[in-house]
Structure 1
C-alpha cells in the first residue's frame, strides 16, 4: 500500500512508501524535478522514529497547525556575513512552537485515554498550547504550574480551559508529581518534552524548513528540555545528514549542555534568566538527552546581555517582540558568527509570549 503526504508548496514534498521500504524525497530546483530515494531505516528511542514519526505527525496536525513563515533578514545576514532566515514560531497558534507537539500528542490518544483526561506541568507555553489543544479536542486537562510563574500566565491558562493547580516547588518537581498522580489515576501524563509524540510534533518545524529552503546548511535552535531540538535535528539529519544543528541555552540555566558533557542528566546551580521558557532541569530518564547526543552537532551557551541584544535586534529589524527564549537562536549565532560566515543559516524563533512592559523594563527600543 502506498501512502502519500502532499503539501501545498511545489518546492518540496515527501511521499512515504509502505511497508517501510523507502522514502521518496521530491523537490523542484531550478525548474527541474529531483527525486531522492532513501531507505527507511527507522531509528527508535522509546518510540521516537525519524523521519516517519514526524511525517505522520505533520499529516495528523493539518490544517490546525500553521506552516509558519521562514523569512530572510537583510540586516542579520550582513551582520553575520552569511544568509540568515528566521523561522517565526511566534506566529504559531498560542504564540509558540508548543502547539505542534501538544496537538499531535492528543491526536495519538486512544478513546479510553481521551475520556479520562490528561495531566501535565508547565511554566507557561506548553501549558497554554496544551490547554488550547485540549479545548479543541474536547479532552479535560489538569495542569500543575509552579507558584513562581507569572500571574499573567495563570490567567491565560485558566481562560484556555485548563484546571490549573499552583504547585510548591520547581517545574521539574511539578513534572515528577504530575507523572506520579497520572500513574495513580490511570491517566496519561503529557510531558513538555519527554514524550515521543511531542518530539515528533516539534520536528515538523524541520520538515517545513527543508520544504521552504532545501539549501539550508545550519539551524540554530533554543534548548530547554530538548524536545524541540530533538525533533528538528532527528528529522533533518535523517533527510539531509550534512546540515548542522546547533542548540542554544542561557548560561544561567544550561542544564542540557552540562548533561551532555557529563553523559548523564546533571543538576547545576540555576540563576534567573530572560529565557524563562527554557529554564529548569531535565526530569529523570528524559529521552531527549540521548537524542541530543546522537543528532545535535553542538551546544552554545549565551549571556543575559546577549539574549537582550538579540531581542533588541529582532524588534529593530522586523518589528516583532519575542520572548527571551525566542531570541536564543540569534543570540547563539551572534556569539559564533565567525564560524558560520558565508553559510545559509535558519534561526528558530520559538515564541513571542512577552509583554511590552517587559521590553520597556529591559530597555529594548519599542
Structure 2
C-alpha cells in the first residue's frame, strides 16, 4: 500500500484487496517483535450475555495497546534515507508510546505532539521510551493537524495514528490473528477513535471470514467518526469528557479511514460513561485485568448488543491498559 494519506472518495474492491495483501505482509514481517496476543474465553461474560465471548488481549501487547502493531509496520517500511531524520506524530498517548518504542528499536528519533488534555501517565511513558513530547493547549485534532504541518515544514515523515495505510495494515494483523485463533467468529466489537484498528480488522476479515459483523463502539460523549459516518461526510462534533481518552478527538479531514469504515463497518453502538465504568469493573472482577476506558467501550458495546448474538461466537478487542491507577480505581469504585 502507498504511504500517502490522500483518501479516495470511495474505496473499491481492488483497493481493499491491496490493503488485505499489505496486512498479510505485515503479519509475516512483524514477528517476533510484535507479539501475537491471546484470544481468551470469558466464562463470566458468556454467562451474562448468552454469547460465546472471546477477549482479544491487545492490552497485553508491547506498550500496553494495539498501537504497537501499526507503529512497528510504519517504521519497518520507512526508506533508509529517511530514518536518521526521524518522524513526527500526534497522540493522546498510546500511539506515541508505540511509535517511541518502535523508533527506539530501529534507531529512528520520534517527536510527538499532544494536547494538554492527554493523560500525564501516557505523556511520561512516551518520554521514558525516548520520544520528544510537545504539549499544546488545543484539542487532540488540533494537535494532530499541527503535527502534520510541522512534519511538512521540517521535511520529515508524519505518522498518523490512523490516517495512513501502512499503519492501518499493521493494525489489521489483529484480524489475521483472530481468524487463526477463531476462524468461525460471528462478530467483532471494536472501540473506535480515528478508525484505523477497525478498518484494518475489517479489511482482514472481509477476505478471511466474509459475513463477520464488524461493530464499531463509541462513547456517547465523543462519537466523532460515528456522526461522520451517519452524515456521509467528515464533520466536527462537540465532544464531552470521557473515560475513553484513547478514542477521543475528531477525525482529520480527508482521512482514509472514513471511506474504509463506510465500506467495512456493519453496525455501530454508543455507550454511556456509566456503562464504560461497569465494563471496566467487570473485566477487573472476572478476568483480573486492568483495562483502559477505550477497552471498556468495546466490552460495554458487546453487552449492549448481546441479544442480537445469542448463541453466537463474538470477539471483543481489549485495546489497551494504559490508565493511571488512581483513575482506574475511581472508575470502578
Q: Secondary structure at the match of 1:271?
A: coil
Q: CA deviation at 1:56?
A: 0.4
Could you tell me which of 238, 245, 264 is aligned with 1:295? 264
Counterpart Cα distance in 2 of 1:65 and 1:238 = 23
Counterpart Cα distance in 2 of 1:362 and 1:116 = 41
Deviates more, 1:339-348 or 1:349-358: 349-358
**Are the aligned partners of 1:121 and 1:174 in contact in 2 as well (CA < 8 Å)?**
yes
**Are the aligned partners of 1:117 and 1:140 in contact in 2 as well (CA < 8 Å)?**
yes
**Are the aligned partners of 1:82 and 1:342 in contact in 2 as well (CA < 8 Å)?**
yes
Q: Classify 1:231/1:363 alpha carbon distance in 2 versus 1 (closer, same or farther; 3 Å).
A: closer
Q: Secondary structure at the match of 1:49?
A: helix
**Are the aligned partners of 1:121 and 1:145 in contact in 2 as well (CA < 8 Å)?**
yes
Residue in structure 1 matched with residue 48 of structure 2 by the alignment: 79
Residue in structure 2 matched with residue 264 of structure 1 by the alignment: 233
Counterpart Cα distance in 2 of 1:139 and 1:356 = 31
Residue in structure 2 matched with residue 280 of structure 1 by the alignment: 249
Q: CA deviation at 1:49?
A: 2.5
In the superposition, the TM-score normalised over structure 1's length comes to 0.86
Residue in structure 1 matched with residue 6 of structure 2 by the alignment: none
Residue in structure 1 matched with residue 143 of structure 2 by the alignment: 174
Residue in structure 2 matched with residue 194 of structure 1 by the alignment: 163
Residue in structure 1 matched with residue 274 of structure 2 by the alignment: 305
Counterpart Cα distance in 1 of 2:82 and 2:178 = 33
Q: CA deviation at 1:247?
A: 0.6
Q: CA deviation at 1:75?
A: 1.1
Residue 143 of structure 2 corresponds to residue 165 of structure 1: no
Counterpart Cα distance in 2 of 1:237 and 1:217 = 12
Q: Which has the higher contact order (CA 8 A, sep 6+)?
A: 2
Q: Secondary structure at the match of 1:225?
A: coil
Q: CA deviation at 1:351?
A: 0.3
Q: CA deviation at 1:186?
A: 1.4
**Are the aligned partners of 2:192 and 2:247 in contact in 1 as well (CA < 8 Å)?**
yes
Q: Classify 1:42/1:268 alpha carbon distance in 2 versus 1 (closer, same or farther; 3 Å).
A: closer
Counterpart Cα distance in 1 of 2:18 and 2:219 = 29
Q: What root-mean-square deviation, in Å, do the aligned CA atoms of Structure 1 and Structure 2 show?
A: 1.3
Q: Secondary structure at the match of 2:238?
A: coil
Counterpart Cα distance in 1 of 2:223 and 2:88 = 27
Q: CA deviation at 1:42?
A: 6.2
Runs of 4+ in 1 over 6 A off after TM superposition: none
**Are the aligned partners of 1:249 and 1:302 in contact in 2 as well (CA < 8 Å)?**
yes
Counterpart Cα distance in 2 of 1:307 and 1:131 = 28
Unaligned runs of 5+ in 1: 1-40
Q: CA deviation at 1:330?
A: 1.1
Residue in structure 2 matched with residue 23 of structure 1 by the alignment: none
**Are the aligned partners of 1:42 and 1:52 in contact in 2 as well (CA < 8 Å)?**
no
Q: Select the structure that is richer in helix.
A: 2
Q: CA deviation at 1:299?
A: 1.0
Aligned residue runs from structure 1 range 227-238, under 5 A: 227-238=196-207
Whose radius of gyration is greater, 1 or 2? Answer: 1
Q: Secondary structure at the match of 1:71?
A: strand
**How many residues are matched?**
322
Counterpart Cα distance in 1 of 2:170 and 2:238 = 31
**Are the aligned partners of 1:252 and 1:271 in contact in 2 as well (CA < 8 Å)?**
yes
Q: CA deviation at 1:175?
A: 1.0
Residue in structure 2 matched with residue 152 of structure 1 by the alignment: 121
Counterpart Cα distance in 1 of 2:119 and 2:248 = 14
Counterpart Cα distance in 2 of 1:80 and 1:220 = 14
Q: Secondary structure at the match of 2:202?
A: helix
Could you tell me which of 60, 85, 94 is aligned with 1:125? 94
Residue 15 of structure 2 corresponds to residue 44 of structure 1: yes
Residue in structure 2 matched with residue 69 of structure 1 by the alignment: 38
Residue in structure 1 matched with residue 108 of structure 2 by the alignment: 139
**Are the aligned partners of 2:121 and 2:324 in contact in 1 as well (CA < 8 Å)?**
no
Q: Select the structure that is richer in strand.
A: 1
Q: Secondary structure at the match of 1:266?
A: coil
